[in-house]
Amino acid sequence: MHKQKKKRLILLDIDDTLFRCDTFVAFIAYYLRLNPSRAFVLPWILLLAVFFKLGAVSNVTLKQNALLILKGETRACLAAYAGRFLRRLFAAKLNFSVSEAIKKLVATGLYDIIVISASPSFYIETIGGRINALRTIATNIKFDEYDRLVPVLDGNNCKGEEKITRLRQEINLEDYDLENSYAFSDSVTDLPMFELVGRPVAVTPDSKLMALALDKKYIIIK
């Protein structure tokens, strides 16, 4: 009997990879257009964004403060917003080069898609469902006993090495042919993800990622 071939993985980042934008920023902007009264906290968040760029505050601090805009929204309401938002996102911001590359790989029947994103799980999970991902891994946000959003991360920010930690919790990597698996990302912060597979893909890379991609002979999608 022939030994059954192992399946392969497509590890897929979302922000500036599958979509040509930061989807969390885009979601907040969409939400504020529908709920302008929530914009009172926006100047504070923009100030924190400047401090983040300067390295004075962490990504977690910035993210949790941005979540103040959504404080108190129920999970059901956020799911409804997410559905409408994602219809617009897929229509206007989808990176077709990445989308088509993934479709061709999936059509072979050899690959499972794993979405891995640092953005909030309450809408990233909808993206994973839309593209038939086997698993969707993202940053979890706390909800209270009434299922209302609390602006605090529920666990670690799903970024960098944390993505691989979470991935190992979800699947047994030994079940997969990692040497022939792909990882798509736009950022050097996903180096742990790139190093896990045999076929890293740098998407619209900045100068730092481009230098790494050229040195390591990554696949490049501009």
Strand order in the sheet with 219-221: 135-139, 111-120, 8-12, 182-185, 199-203, 219-221
pLDDT of the residue at 2:
56
Ordered mean pLDDT values, 10 residues apiece, the chain (222 residues): 81 98 97 96 94 93 97 97 96 98 98 98 96 98 98 97 98 97 98 98 97 98 94
Q: How confident is the model at residue 5, as a pLDDT?
A: 84
Q: How deeply is 34 buried, as exposed, middle or buried, from its count of CB atoms within 10 A (0-12, 13-18, 19+)? A: exposed
Domain ranges (residues) in the chain:
8-221
The alpha carbon of residue 97 and the mean position of all alpha carbons in its chain are separated, in whole angstroms, by: 17
Residue 155: per-residue pLDDT: 96
- Give the Cα separation of 159 and 152 in Å (integer): 16
CB 119 within 8 A of CB 14: yes
The span from the CA of 44 to the CA of 88, in Å, is 27
The CATH classification number of 8-221 equals 3.40.50.1000
The answer to whether the CB of 71 falls within 8 A of the CB of 150 is: yes
pLDDT of residue 3: 63
pTM to 2 decimal places: 0.95
